[in-house]
Every structure is written in C-alpha cells, then in structure tokens.
Structure 1
Amino acid sequence: MSVTSSVSGRQWPEPSATLRLIKPITWFPPIWAYLCGVISSGAVLTGQWGLVLLGVLLAGPITCGMSQAANDWCDRHVDAINEPDRPIPSGRVPGRWGLWIALAMTGLALIVGMQLGPWGFGATVFAVLAAWAYSAEPVRLKRSGWWGPGLVALCYEGVPWFTGAAILSAGAPSMQIILIAGLYVVGAHGIMTLNDFKALEGDRQTGVASLPVTLGPDRAAKLACWIMTLPQVGVIALLTLWDRPFHALGVAALLGAQVWAMNTLLKDPKAKAPWYNGTGVLFYVSGMMIAAFALRGLS
C-alpha cells in the first residue's frame, strides 16, 4: 500500500488516529523522569504545583507527542512495511497532516517551554531539535544503533529529570542529581535497543542499522541487558557511598527482579522483547524514583 494513499478519499484525519499518532502510552517515561527530577530537587512543592503540572504537560503530551508525530511522518515508508495499519500509512491521517501536526506541536512546545523560565525553555529547545534530528533527513540519527537509542534515552530520561530539578530549584541541579540521572540515561540505551526489535524487518529493508539488525537479536539482547544492568550497579554504589543504604537496597532488589526478567528475555529475545518492555522496564523506572527520594534527602 502506498503511504500517500487515503482511505475512501479522506481529507481530514480521524480523531482516534490523530490520538494514536501522538501515542499517549509513550508519554509515561518523560513524565516519570520529570517527576523524578522534581522529587530529587528537594524543593518545597507548596505553591509550585502549577510548575509541576505545566512541566508534566510539556514533557508528555506536548513534547513527547510531537516527537512521536514527527517520527511517524519521517518513518511512514518504514511503517508501511512494519505496521501498515498505523495512522499515516493506513491513510487515516491523510496527505501531509502528520507533518502539519508535528510542526504545530513543535511550536506549542516552544511556547509552553518559555513559561518555565530559561532552564525549561533551554531544555525544550534541545528536546525539539533532538526529536527532529532523530527522525528527519538528512541527519536521521535513528539510522545508528548507537546514536539513535542514546539520543532517545537522553530525551526520555535525562533531559526531563534535569529540567524538573532545575525548574523547582531555580538553578543548576547538584552534581549528585546529574550523576544519577546520567547513569539512568546510559541504562535506558538498553531499553531503547529492545524497543528496536519490533521494527527489525522494516529496518533491515530500509537500511536502518539498529543493533538488532547489525548484531542479530541474540547478541543485541545480551548487550542491552549489560547496558541496563551496569549503570544501576553504579547507582547502588553511589547511594551506598552517600549513606543511603536503604535506598540502595531498594534499587538492588529491583535490579534483581530485572535480572530474573532478563533470563526470560534471553531465551527468545525477538519474541520476548515486548514482554520485557512491559515487565522489566517497570522495575527499572521504580528504581529511578527510589533514587530520586534518596537524592531529595541529600538536597
């Protein structure tokens, strides 16, 4: 099916297809990371709930939603192979509506980001540029199995965490916050690699050098597991060093649960990657919040 075809001559997008285009299920990671930043800042939230809510809307529905629309527009040819029922290749978001939605949401993200002060606006500008650099030609960093997942991990985990902490504390976050957020960014590279399994066939046909394509599913899954595990070991070590033994123990317990899930994943990586993303990742992000509360005590 041509990616420019429409369903029954449709000229306007279906509302349900438009919602699917911006993928609400993907909003959770940046929202969660933003809230981790808010908690880790140690700031008193009384009187600042407006900033918290505005940041949640910016991180999730607006900026992440924009990035999803941009990615679907730029990936419409790949999606015609992998998932032809998606809004753009199916024609339920016809013509150039996918592009127009992504551009309109880009403008909205920048306007809202301006309301969060220089830190919030700077982070928004970075996130917007990163979203287009990831998906659009001629840069299209998603072609790389290293740069693509790394950039997504940074924008899903690191930038929102840093922004939440900076906005609530009205200044640069502490070095402890930057270290912990940075370690979780590195670990999230493995999560994003597992996410690439769903597009394995389309990536092969269109020249996207994801790690599942270049290394094969088995080796890519093993590498992803190591990338997810080692940074969390670093988090545990730092929390212990900073006299937060109970928080360190909590993160260690959740890492143990991930190792159990990884053993299941590695038995059949291609089939089990979606299962792991719904199971092991929950343990991962729970550890993030425990670490955020540990940092709040330090602040």
Structure 2
Amino acid sequence: MTTLADLAELVRAPAALSVPGDVVAGAAAAGALNRRTPALAGASVLLYWAGMAANDWADRRLDAVERPERPIPSGRVAPAAAVGLAAGLTAAGLGLAAAVGGRRAAALAVPLAASIWGYDLLAKNTAAGPAVMAACRGLDVLLGASGGRLTRALPAAATVAAHTWTVTALSRREVTGADAALPLRTLAGTALVAASAAAPDGRARSVGIVAALPAILSGWYAARYGAAQAQVVRDPSAGRVRAAVGAGITGLPALQGALTARGGAGLLGLAVAAAAPLGRRLARKVSPT
C-alpha cells in the first residue's frame, strides 16, 4: 500500500523549500509583495510537486535500471497513481494561481506548467533540457511578479534561470559521472549568478547591514554551492555530482534571499534564505534529486 512517505519521496517534498523564494524574489523586484504572494508561492509549490511526479512517471523504465529504489520501480507507487497525482497537482496549481492572481498570473502559470511537462516528457534528455528547465524557474519568478511591473523582475528571473541551468546540466551526469570540464563551466556560471545577485539595485534605498544583505547572502550561496562543484572538479564521480546537484537545490533559497533583499525587502530576504539550512537537513531524510 502506498504511504504518505512514499508520495513525499515521489514529489521530493522537502525540495519544495527551494520554490517559494522564486515567487517572493519576483514579487519583491516588481514591487508586488502583498497578501496574494503566499498563495502564488503555494501554487508554485503544487506545480513543482507535479513536475517531480511527472518526472518519475516519465523515467519509470530508466529508473528500473538505474535507480530501482525510487517509488515507482520499487513498486511502492503505481505508475497510474503517479501520473494521476501529477495531473491533479498541475490542475490545483493552475487553479490557485488563477484564483488569486487573475488573468495575469494565469498567463504565466499556464506556460510554466507547459514547460514543466514539456521538460519531463520531451526535453529532459535532449540538448535543450537545461534551457527548458531554466525557463521553468524564470517563469516561476515572473509568476510572483505578475501583480506588478514584470520588466523589473526580468533580471531576477534571468539570475534564477542561470542558476537552474547549472544544476540541470550537472544533474544529467548524476548516474554516469562527469568530465572535469562540466563542473568548471557550471562553477563559472555560479560565480556570475552570485555577482548578479550581489549587484546593487539603484531603486533600493536600504542602508547599513540591510544594504549589504544581497552581497552577504549571494556570497553564502556561492560558497556552499561552489564548494560542492569544486569537489566535482577534483573527483567527477557520480556521487560527487549528485552531492553538487543537491547543494544547488538546497542552496537556492540563499540566492533567492539575496534577490529578495536586492528588491528592497531585506528582512524577508533573510527569512527566505533561512530555508537553505532547513532544506539541507531535510535532504538527509528525503533526497532532493
């Protein structure tokens, strides 16, 4: 019988801590932080979980060979239940986004959902895979900005998308291991991402320690994720690659916190970044990859 623990493993439940910060960072950048932001973040989480369930359904035959311990190949979750859960979570996420954010939110949630399913079913194992997944995260940031000026959130969306490209590029070598060139490329990308998040925003009027928060948080992000990638440079084995992917997922809230603080919401940025150590702790119980 399928248990809640099995479903939590299927959707990588703790990894969802890396999701609300997308919406919050987008809302902060666009000047759209309001009572709708938590609900939009909830919609984003539902779509993320849908993508994780759809991913394992699409990979069920490959996982039977490479990762037989996962919920579907191990027999703990039936394939029909997984794809049904993915469809239901997608519908719930789209419905919630439209209900709280109206047409503007729906206009971003629909292509976000389409990109998630497109990645899982079509793009994942192609050269376009990292770009499609990066687009998913960029659209997620813009979903949070849907109640304000979208153009102001484009830099934040691009920054999160670039980070996502590095994680996705690494994830494609979780089973086979990587050559040394790949982590060097992703490490360079991480440095650029951190620098982008730390750059001052001319619209923000923060002073003192609050003004320094984007640089502090982006440095924290770069140090943790960068260290994991540096380990892959030295030892590009599958285990090291999986560890770096996990660090990229669980470290994302620190980057989102930097972007939120850059948008003028310093204390909220700290709250978003606090999900990073919590995510690392939970990842020891349920793998985020």
TM-score band by shorter chain is 0.7 to 0.9
* Equivalent residue, structure 2, for 1:207: none
* Equivalent residue, structure 2, for 1:205: none
CA distance, structure 2, for counterparts of residue 196 and residue 241 of structure 1? 38
Q: Which amino acid aligns with 1:268?
A: D
Superimposed CA distance per residue, residues 180-229 of structure 1 (whole angstroms, 9 cap, x where no aligned partner): 321231132112222233243xxxxxxxxxxx6xxx43222222212222
- 2:130 counterpart of 1:141: no
CA distance, structure 2, for counterparts of residue 243 and residue 53 of structure 1? 25
Q: 2:70 aligns with which of 70, 75, 86?
A: 86
CA distance, structure 2, for counterparts of residue 125 and residue 248 of structure 1? 31
Q: Which amino acid aligns with 1:172?
A: R
* Equivalent residue, structure 1, for 2:168: 192
CA distance, structure 2, for counterparts of residue 284 and residue 108 of structure 1? 25
- 2:230 counterpart of 1:263: yes
Alignment of 1:282-297 (within 5 A): 285-296=253-264
Q: Which amino acid aligns with 1:19?
A: A
TM-score, length-normalised on structure 2?
0.77
Alignment of 1:21-170 (within 5 A): 21-43=10-32, 45=34, 48=35, 51-60=36-45, 62-115=46-99, 116-136=101-121, 140-145=122-127, 147-155=128-136, 157-166=137-146, 170=147
* Equivalent residue, structure 1, for 2:184: 222
Shift of 1:272: 2.0
Structure 1 residues 223 and 286 mapped into 2: Cα distance closer, same or farther (>3 Å)?
A: same
Superimposed CA distance per residue, residues 118-171 of structure 1 (whole angstroms, 9 cap, x where no aligned partner): 1221222112111221122xxx101124x212222332x3222211122xxx33
CA distance, structure 2, for counterparts of residue 282 and residue 14 of structure 1? 25
Shift of 1:259: 4.1
CA distance, structure 2, for counterparts of residue 199 and residue 268 of structure 1? 14
Structure 1 residues 249 and 129 mapped into 2: Cα distance closer, same or farther (>3 Å)?
A: closer
CA distance, structure 2, for counterparts of residue 185 and residue 267 of structure 1? 26
**Aligned partners of 2:183 and 2:230 also within 8 Å:** no
CA distance, structure 1, for counterparts of residue 32 and residue 157 of structure 2? 17
Q: Which amino acid aligns with 1:165?
A: A
Structure 1 residues 258 and 98 mapped into 2: Cα distance closer, same or farther (>3 Å)?
A: closer
Query: Where do 5+ consecutive residues of structure 1 fail to align?
Result: 1-11, 201-211
Larger radius of gyration: 1
| Number of residues of Structure 1 aligned to a counterpart in Structure 2 | 259
Q: Which amino acid aligns with 1:77?
A: R
Superimposed CA distance per residue, residues 259-290 of structure 1 (whole angstroms, 9 cap, x where no aligned partner): 44433332113232233344466555413312
CA distance, structure 1, for counterparts of residue 82 and residue 249 of structure 2? 29
Q: 1:246 aligns with which of 181, 200, 212?
A: 212
Q: Which amino acid aligns with 1:186?
A: A
Q: Which amino acid aligns with 1:171?
A: G
CA distance, structure 1, for counterparts of residue 219 and residue 226 of structure 2? 10
Q: Which amino acid aligns with 2:105?
A: G
Superimposed CA distance per residue, residues 226-261 of structure 1 (whole angstroms, 9 cap, x where no aligned partner): 222223334444648988873454256333555444
Structure 1 residues 281 and 87 mapped into 2: Cα distance closer, same or farther (>3 Å)?
A: closer
* Equivalent residue, structure 2, for 1:4: none
Structure 1 residues 239 and 252 mapped into 2: Cα distance closer, same or farther (>3 Å)?
A: farther
**Aligned partners of 2:190 and 2:226 also within 8 Å:** no
247-256 vs 96-105, which moves further: 247-256
